[in-house]
Amino acid sequence: MRVKRGVATHKKHQKIRKATKGYSHSNRVSVKRGKQAVTRSLQNATRDRKNRKRTFRQLWNARINAAARTNNTTYSKLISGLKQANVTLDRKILAELAVNEPKAFSAVVKASTSKNK
C-alpha cells in the first residue's frame, strides 16, 4: 500500500510557519525561504550569545580600569596584585563594586597593593 506523506509534510510546514512569525512577507509565506531564514536566525543567535559574553567582559574591564585609575593604579597591576593576594573576585563582581560601591573597591585595591609591596 502506498504511503501518503501529506500529514507529516503539513506538520513540518506549520512548524516553519510558526517559527517565522514576524518575519518579512516572503520569508513567512514561502516554506523554502522560511526554512532558510530560520536556519540563519538560529546561527546568528548562537554567534551573538558568544559575542555577548565577549562584550560584557570588555565592559567590565573598562569599568575596572577606570575605577583603578581613580585609585592611582592600573588594571593590569590591580589584577596581578589580586592574583598574588589570592583574592578570587571575578571581573563581573569587581566592575559591580567599582560602579556601585567605590569604598569597597578602594579596599580591594588596598588589599591588592599591600601584597605587592
Cell of 110: 588596598
Residue 23: its pLDDT value, please?
A: 94
Residue 36: pLDDT over 90: yes
**Residues 59-85 pLDDT 10s:** 999 999 999 999 999 999 999 999 999
Would residue 4 count as lying in a domain? no
Q: Which domain holds residue 40?
A: 9-116
Mean pLDDT of 102-114: 92
How many residues can be counted in the chain? 117
Full 3-state SS string of 50-102: HHHHHHHHHHHHHHHHHHHHHCCCCHHHHHHHHHHCCCCCCHHHHHHHHHHCH
Number of structural domains the chain divides into: 1
CATH (domain of 99): 1.10.1900.20
Burial of residue 7 (CB within 10 Å: 0-12, 13-18, 19+) is: exposed
